[in-house]
Amino acid sequence: MADGQTKAERIARALDHFSIEIPSWGFANTGTRFGKFLQPSAATSIEEKFADASQVNALTGVNPTLALHVEWDLPNGTDDVPAIQQLERKYGIRAGSINPNLFQDQAYKYGSICNPDPEVREKATSHMLDCVEIAKRLDARDISPWVSDGSNYPGTQSIRKRIVWMEESFSRIHAALGPAQRLLIEYKPFEPAFYHTDIADWGMALELARSAGPQALVLVDTGHHYQSQNIEQIVAWLLHLKMLGGFHFNDRRYADDDLTLGSIDPYQVFRIFHQILSDPDLNSLEIAFMIDQSHNLKGKMEAMVQTVATAEELYAKAALVDLEELEVLQQGCKLVEAEECFRSAFWEDVRPMVRDWRRSRGLPEDPLLALAESGYVEQITAERAARNMKAITSYA
Amino acid sequence: MADGQTKAERIARALDHFSIEIPSWGFANTGTRFGKFLQPSAATSIEEKFADASQVNALTGVNPTLALHVEWDLPNGTDDVPAIQQLERKYGIRAGSINPNLFQDQAYKYGSICNPDPEVREKATSHMLDCVEIAKRLDARDISPWVSDGSNYPGTQSIRKRIVWMEESFSRIHAALGPAQRLLIEYKPFEPAFYHTDIADWGMALELARSAGPQALVLVDTGHHYQSQNIEQIVAWLLHLKMLGGFHFNDRRYADDDLTLGSIDPYQVFRIFHQILSDPDLNSLEIAFMIDQSHNLKGKMEAMVQTVATAEELYAKAALVDLEELEVLQQGCKLVEAEECFRSAFWEDVRPMVRDWRRSRGLPEDPLLALAESGYVEQITAERAARNMKAITSYA
Amino acid sequence: MADGQTKAERIARALDHFSIEIPSWGFANTGTRFGKFLQPSAATSIEEKFADASQVNALTGVNPTLALHVEWDLPNGTDDVPAIQQLERKYGIRAGSINPNLFQDQAYKYGSICNPDPEVREKATSHMLDCVEIAKRLDARDISPWVSDGSNYPGTQSIRKRIVWMEESFSRIHAALGPAQRLLIEYKPFEPAFYHTDIADWGMALELARSAGPQALVLVDTGHHYQSQNIEQIVAWLLHLKMLGGFHFNDRRYADDDLTLGSIDPYQVFRIFHQILSDPDLNSLEIAFMIDQSHNLKGKMEAMVQTVATAEELYAKAALVDLEELEVLQQGCKLVEAEECFRSAFWEDVRPMVRDWRRSRGLPEDPLLALAESGYVEQITAERAARNMKAITSYA
Amino acid sequence: MADGQTKAERIARALDHFSIEIPSWGFANTGTRFGKFLQPSAATSIEEKFADASQVNALTGVNPTLALHVEWDLPNGTDDVPAIQQLERKYGIRAGSINPNLFQDQAYKYGSICNPDPEVREKATSHMLDCVEIAKRLDARDISPWVSDGSNYPGTQSIRKRIVWMEESFSRIHAALGPAQRLLIEYKPFEPAFYHTDIADWGMALELARSAGPQALVLVDTGHHYQSQNIEQIVAWLLHLKMLGGFHFNDRRYADDDLTLGSIDPYQVFRIFHQILSDPDLNSLEIAFMIDQSHNLKGKMEAMVQTVATAEELYAKAALVDLEELEVLQQGCKLVEAEECFRSAFWEDVRPMVRDWRRSRGLPEDPLLALAESGYVEQITAERAARNMKAITSYA
């Protein structure tokens, strides 16, 4: 390498600065609209979610925080903060981003902060203000609302008015933020709305963040894009504009499939990581890496550990790109040479070096194997099976 | 028109031969994976579904049959047949297509007739054989299985073996069919499986139908296609091959959105109807027109009546295409003239003529208005609200 | 209608304020990468393009301006301005938007204003500055650059650096604008670049316009979107932000197919027009409506006249939406009623009323028929056939 | 490995049976509809194409045949056969698949074998019969027609009639085949036609092949699919049906972008190769692997060598999948374990083993490097530059 470092050193330097937040809802039973396939080991309480997260972090060492979903994890709002703090201490896992819920209440049938009814908008805004307060008390930096609002049929809602209503709500949220807090605005093209979604793409999220204030940034969910859209280019733009707040990581083939990261298109994840690792201001960047997946079939614990390990390996590959050489080849428009330079880092089998790094940091070399050997899944299965299998949620 | 008929006569002739089956599940509460927005007037029993269907048919006159979903409507299998027959008599609605359920049971987590476990495949096949028996007793012509099997991750299942397993199962189903019965094989690109779906497109459905036997045909769900795929061309091919068994009608923008027919792209529905109405063997066709929609936000009754009325109007437009003139222009490659000839039928406002036809057949001119004036929704709301609103199905 | 106007009056008021610019290149032979199908009547000189445009405007009355492509129409830059001015007077057609060419010169192989080579960037910027000067002399308001730059393979170019280069170039263009001039920045997801396109979506175009200055706005080409993207929502956002400069109209099914407007999805065009006609600041809007199509098979003159007539009819339908009633239904979340209110305007057969309006303005009732009866195509075929058919451009 | 072979042995065994045909048109200047970027080293004669192919094969050893395009390479039909035979001998490269041209002649404006004009259909069929004759004389096994026919606008052509016309034509072609010859029918969703393409998907190609006769098979072009379509599943189906004739390899992101294989989604290519390598009848398979790419920006020679090397490496990765272990894991529905087993072969850095194999077969270890060191590109640039750069094909 031009910088005199060995490959192993480059990987170690990159992984030493890499961490990824895991979501509390990644341990609970989820499904598709056609039903859920229940898992006997799924977490059914916030304590079980902390316990599972703690076990993942024990195996990987890179997951010190747990994203919380207020509706499910703090159903009593701020009153639940002390209980969360106790779990933080007990399990050695800190609360991560705070996620409002704007889609589940029957009141949100026609929208939350975009609802034509001002009372519903107030309810939704008020819920987000509660989330800001919860975050303050938990010393959590990021509030991550996903506005699922939209409409299913042309003509049934005023797209224009709803823009204004969002601006009004986000301004109020922003005004309530503490000085170190951030509002991360997520976008998604469709689902659960099928004709228009009020925050459909990064351009809309960016405009809303700008209108809200300087502590509002954009959140990129890798599964929330149109077919063939170039995600790494969006990342490059947000880095250029200093408006990239973080990621929700998952993979997808068709829609928002919420598959494990890198399972469908690993080369794309590598390219996204390359944009980040080649940012000239990388050292001062504060990008939240978060997993947002819904494991319908894979075991919850296995899938989470597998995702973290895959993320590390793809991040390590991206760290091997020879940026100095690449820059020269790009500047000279040496297309084949530049591509080979770039792609050769992807072709490298980094698994041995990542294993070495893990061992050198006192971590299990193979987290998936360590999980299997730990007997953890068998243990929680025994504890939780009865509770999990009693109810079946169906389509009808 | 070249055939000497007035427009009104053409429309009347077309509509006199038009009927469309409504699905029992179209009256029940449904939702997305993020939750259901409950409707106080939703049907919660098979009798309520018959009652609602009967009311729709009273308003439209073109919906004499009700598609049944065995899992939900005949949970005791053939034992429930007498009850269904009683409802048929009481409400003047006949049982329509019989729909197996191959996706809801926990046993189907890794597939039904494609499951590597032969016991699960047997269970699924046996369920379909029960459906054939139910259909025989109900004098129902069509068995319409939707095989939702697939996998979420590359490498996790053998695509090849699963083809063979499907062939084996469908052969057994076909062997059990009565002489007037038909097996309609549906396809869908994705959801609930996100990497591969075992019957992903019309080519796969066609091969399976061929392999099953002469009474197996293909079912086209208008929402089950790739972005930009030309559905009317697939219809033309299936008509050419005499392999078109029927339709599940709905509309979509992104995925299988199950929106009301014609709500997103009405011109496409017109083009599909044109393929059917220009079939040289139209009189001998036995194409099952069925609605398959999931109304998450629209009122169930209103959406169903609206769908039927829209289908009639688009069918009427298609009936106005001057086939003789169009043929001449197509043969001469008069592109602009042919397009104008074709599209002018779509531009026609057929609503007055369809209203005239309804009145002449003793039906309400405006079914949606008639529904509103009937007070039916208010009545069932009063009856059903308490039952419907007691439970909320959530994402977590 | 709530405002007391008849439908005919609403349509007349709308069409009296409707005009649409036609492109000079719409009259010349074009093709796909697999070859061109030559038309004997295609225009081969700038005078023939003016003549054809003049004939279209004589038939429709709504096309007073002709978009010019500097590379093809003013190959000598400002030196050609007097000749253009003479044609303006001779044919009664004014020069419209001025379109730079950033894709054809061999120097642009690796990009124009995004090229790593500063000399090529200078050449491209200089060409655009020439276009500004041409526009000033022709009293043309809009400069419409389409930056086709991009790359075909991951890693071969620095997406980040190219953003900066674009910003630098557009700033210089903006600085050169006269007080009444505007810079319209167009976006396109792909083609001719297949991995990344430097201005890929409306968000990127918007950021570049903002960075350039207050006279820079976004241009929406209806064919330049991802599959299933909601174009009318983007229009709503740009209207809200007062950043909508204009449109390039065409239709598409798969990629940038450049088909005639409304030929694939007419309902979508209606919805776009609805956003514009329901803008509260409509009277002060300055939105450039322009056609950008490439007729590979349809006759050039027929396709242009057909497009204009279709645009008028869809604009007339949109003018029939009862905005007052719709607002009430949207506010009340009366989904089915709102949709029926909205869509009923689309179902209206406005052709008789549009014909009436044309006649009342001294125009032919049926422009396509008038074109056929004029013998114009036969006349130009006789004049131009020999020149057109001598060369065949092939794939090899 | 369960079979006792080392990884290197598995790779060697696979590569010893791997060859890939290169296309004559891959060495000539091509472009997009917006123009061509000319390359001074591009081939301009059939002899130069043979020379270039010979050089590629000297570097890779796996490209013994050259696909020929009759219109461009044998413009005088069978009369050119002796010249081709002379080039075969001179350059040690055999003629490969014979490709008719059904898209370039002005007569094909409205279609070739689907044209409503029977004379044009006859012309196109006659051209394909000439191709069969050429193939016979050249001892070439495969005739590979790509039927680019379609229409741009709804209603302008009869989709139904055109199916019949295709069946008639292909029947005649099939009847003319020699006993060892094959007719490979290709499909493509769109381009150059934008509303409907007569052979749009694998189902249509399969039906046409069946209708033509037992020597007709399907050709899969990896770039000819809808967004998100599962190509390896189609391959699995065609293998199951014994109807897979061969491949046209390239990569794509949006449309038929004709990029170098594996440049956008290398994991997908790996999965396709896995379907082939896990076919139980692999030894008796006769699948034609062919490259079909259009290098607009990359150097022709470099791109071709890069493609071949990438194909070898991805094929080698696929050869490392432990089929026995995978089968057990798939049968047991061990999702994470099966995926890791499968994907670990993809993660392997096979480049050292492939280099060893090349050296052991007397080939350059690094074909791209060997090409650079050979000075071949510089040599042909000197010879051909003047001819290549004299003409610029433009958009207008």
Tokens of B212: 């099953």
Tokens of C235: 């229009």
Report the residue of A254, A263, A267, A310 to disrupt the B interface, i.e. the one with the largest count of B CBs within 10 Å.
Answer: A254
Q: If you ran DSSP here, which 8-state letter would residue C95 be given?
A: E
Cβ within 8 Å, pair A203-C237: yes
What number of C-beta contacts closer than 8 Å exist between A and B?
Answer: 121
- Decide: C302 and C371 in contact? Cβ < 8 Å: yes
- B62 closest CA partner among B93, B18, B12: B18
pLDDT of B82 reads 98
Residue type, D254: Y
Per-residue pLDDT of chain B (396 residues; tens, 9 = 90+): 657 889 999 999 999 999 999 999 999 988 888 888 889 999 999 999 999 999 999 999 999 999 999 999 999 999 999 999 999 999 999 999 999 999 999 999 999 999 999 999 999 999 999 999 999 999 999 999 999 999 999 999 999 999 999 999 999 999 999 999 999 999 999 999 999 999 999 999 999 999 999 999 999 999 999 999 999 999 999 999 999 999 999 999 999 999 999 999 999 999 999 999 999 888 767 899 999 998 889 999 999 999 999 999 999 999 999 999 999 999 999 999 999 999 999 999 999 999 999 999 999 999 999 999 999 999 999 999 988 876 544 433
Q: How far apart are CA C317 and CA C321, in angstroms?
A: 7
Neighboring chain C residues of B306 at a CB cutoff of 8 Å? 336, 339-340
Tokens of A217: 């940034």
Q: How far apart are CA D117 and CA D149, in angstroms?
A: 13
Tell me the pLDDT tens digit for each residue of C362-382.
999 999 999 999 999 999 999
Neighboring chain D residues of B326 at a CB cutoff of 8 Å? 155
Range of the domain at A189: 7-388
Tell me the pLDDT tens digit for each residue of D246-267.
999 999 999 999 999 999 999 9
- Decide: D237 and D197 in contact? Cβ < 8 Å: no
Nearest to D396 among C28, C153, C296 (CB): C28
pLDDT of A394 reads 41
Q: How far apart are CA C165 and CA B235, in angstroms?
A: 50
HSE value, Cβ hemisphere, 13 Å, CA-based, for B11: 25
- Helix (H) or strand (E) holding C143, with range, is strand C142-143
Q: If you ran DSSP here, which 8-state letter would residue B287 be given?
A: P
Q: How far apart are CA A380 and CA A386, in angstroms?
A: 11
pLDDT at A238 over 50: yes
pLDDT of D310 reads 98
Tell the residue number behind the tokens 């890179």, with chain if given. Answer: A62
Nearest to C109 among D30, D227, D297 (CB): D297
pLDDT of C30 reads 83
Dmax over CA atoms of chain D, in Å, equals 64
Nearest to B297 among C228, C297, C335 (CB): C335
pLDDT at D383 over 60: yes
How near does any CA of chain D get to the CA of C376, in Å? 22
Tokens of C389: 């058919």
Chain C: partners with 3+ C-beta pairs within 8 Å: A, B, D
Phi and psi angles of residue B105, each rounded to the nearest 5 degrees, phi first:
-70, 140
pLDDT of D123 reads 98
Helix pair angle (C351-360, C300-319), 10° resolution: 100
- Residues whose CB is less than 8 angstroms from the CB of residue B272 and which lie 6 or more positions away in sequence, other chains included: B222, B231, B232, B235, B247
- Decide: D189 and C254 in contact? Cβ < 8 Å: yes
Cβ within 8 Å, pair D159-B236: yes
Mean pLDDT score of chain D = 95
Distance of CA C102 to the CA centre of its chain: 17
How near does any CA of chain A get to the CA of B387, in Å? 15
What's the structural domain count of chain B?
Answer: 1
- Helix (H) or strand (E) holding B273, with range, is helix B266-277
How near does any CA of chain C get to the CA of D218, in Å? 22
Q: How far apart are CA B36 and CA A112, in angstroms?
A: 15
- Residues whose CB is less than 8 angstroms from the CB of residue B171 and which lie 6 or more positions away in sequence, other chains included: B211, B212, B213
- Beta bridge partners, B197, equal B150
Q: How far apart are CA B168 and CA A54, in angstroms?
A: 47
C309 inside domain: no
Q: How far apart are CA D46 and CA A37, in angstroms?
A: 61
Instruction: Find the residue in C nearest to D190 (Cα).
Output: C254
Q: If you ran DSSP here, which 8-state letter would residue D104 be given?
A: S
Q: How confident is the model over D202-207, as a mean pLDDT?
A: 98
Phi and psi angles of residue A2, each rounded to the nearest 5 degrees, phi first:
-65, -30
Determine the 3-state secondary structure of C210 from DSSP. Answer: helix
pLDDT of D2 reads 59
pLDDT at D391 over 60: no
A119 inside domain: yes
H runs (alpha helix) in D225-322: 231-241, 266-277, 300-319
Q: How far apart are CA C301 and CA C371, in angstroms?
A: 8
- Decide: B143 and B135 in contact? Cβ < 8 Å: yes
Neighboring chain A residues of C232 at a CB cutoff of 8 Å? 154, 159
Chain A: partners with 3+ C-beta pairs within 8 Å: B, C, D
Nearest to D339 among A263, A336, A351 (CB): A263
CA angle, residues B12, B18, B24, in degrees to nearest 5: 140
- D196 closest CA partner among B324, B245, B271: B271
Q: Could you write out the DSSP letters of every residue in D9-41?
A: HHHHHHHHT---BEEGGGGS--EETTEE---TT
Q: How far apart are CA D18 and CA D245, in angstroms?
A: 15
Q: How far apart are CA A310 and CA A316, in angstroms?
A: 10
What number of C-beta contacts closer than 8 Å exist between A and C?
Answer: 153
Q: How far apart are CA A342 and CA A323, in angstroms?
A: 9
Tell me the pLDDT tens digit for each residue of A253-290.
999 999 999 999 999 999 999 999 999 888 767 899 99
Nearest to B263 among A153, A298, A395 (CB): A153
- C367 closest CA partner among C314, C315, C304, C279: C304
Nearest to D153 among C148, C194, C259 (CB): C259
How near does any CA of chain B get to the CA of C381, in Å? 17
Neighboring chain A residues of C269 at a CB cutoff of 8 Å? none
Residue type, B327: E
Tell me the pLDDT tens digit for each residue of D148-185.
999 999 999 999 999 999 999 999 999 999 999 999 99
Q: What are the CA-CA distances from residue C26 to residues C30, C67, C80, C302 (Å)?
A: 8, 10, 20, 11
pLDDT of A89 reads 98
Q: What is the ipTM of this complex?
A: 0.96
Nearest to C156 among A196, A274, A338 (CB): A338
Q: Which residue stretches of chain C have pLDDT < 70?
A: 1-2, 284, 390-396
Q: How confident is the model over D286-315, as a mean pLDDT?
A: 95
C354 inside domain: no
- Residues whose CB is less than 8 angstroms from the CB of residue D333 and which lie 6 or more positions away in sequence, other chains included: B109, B110, B116, B117, B156, B157
Report the residue of A24, A34, A188 to disrupt the B interface, i.e. the one with the largest count of B CBs within 10 Å.
Answer: A34
Q: How far apart are CA C93 and CA C70, in angstroms?
A: 17
Report the residue of A335, A366, A371, A377 to disrupt the D interface, i.e. the one with the largest count of D CBs within 10 Å.
Answer: A335
A393 inside domain: no
Q: What are the CA-CA distances from residue C395 to residues C32, C153, D68, D219, D308 (Å)?
A: 9, 23, 15, 22, 24
pLDDT of A107 reads 96
Neighboring chain A residues of B393 at a CB cutoff of 8 Å? 393
Length reported for chain B: 396
Neighboring chain D residues of C194 at a CB cutoff of 8 Å? 252-255, 257, 259
Neighboring chain C residues of A229 at a CB cutoff of 8 Å? 189, 200-201, 226
D104 inside domain: yes
Phi and psi angles of residue D36, each rounded to the nearest 5 degrees, phi first:
-110, 140
A2 inside domain: no
Residue type, B41: S
Report the residue of D347, D355, D366, D368 to disrupt the A interface, i.e. the one with the largest count of A CBs within 10 Å.
Answer: D347
pLDDT at A52 over 50: yes
Q: How far apart are CA A304 and CA D241, in angstroms?
A: 39
Nearest to A241 among C201, C207, C234 (CB): C207
Nearest to D163 among B109, B240, B338 (CB): B240
Cβ within 8 Å, pair C230-A200: yes
Neighboring chain B residues of C227 at a CB cutoff of 8 Å? 227-228
Dmax over CA atoms of chain A, in Å, equals 64
- Beta bridge partners, D248, equal D221, D290
D347 inside domain: no
pLDDT of A94 reads 98
Cβ within 8 Å, pair C194-D253: yes
Q: What is the CATH number of the domain that holds B98?
A: 3.20.20.150
Determine the 3-state secondary structure of A371 from DSSP. Answer: helix
pLDDT of C283 reads 72
- End-to-end CA gap in chain B: 59
pLDDT of B391 reads 53
- D97 closest CA partner among D114, D73, D121: D73
Q: How far apart are CA B37 and CA B393, in angstroms?
A: 9
Cβ within 8 Å, pair A340-D368: yes
pLDDT of C262 reads 97
Instruction: Find the residue in C nearest to A272 (Cα).
Output: C154
Q: How far apart are CA D183 and CA D167, in angstroms?
A: 13
Neighboring chain A residues of C109 at a CB cutoff of 8 Å? 333
How near does any CA of chain B get to the CA of D16, in Å? 25
Tokens of A368: 């998936």
Cβ within 8 Å, pair B254-C228: yes
D194 inside domain: yes
Q: If you ran DSSP here, which 8-state letter would residue C287 be given?
A: P
Residue type, B135: A
pLDDT of A396 reads 35
pLDDT of B285 reads 72
Nearest to C254 among B228, B299, B348 (CB): B228
Chain D: partners with 3+ C-beta pairs within 8 Å: A, B, C
Neighboring chain B residues of A32 at a CB cutoff of 8 Å? 33, 191-192
Instruction: Find the residue in C nearest to B299 (Cα).
Output: C336
CA dihedral (B127, B133, B135, B137) positive or negative: negative
B362: left (phi over 0), alpha (psi -120 to 50) or beta: left
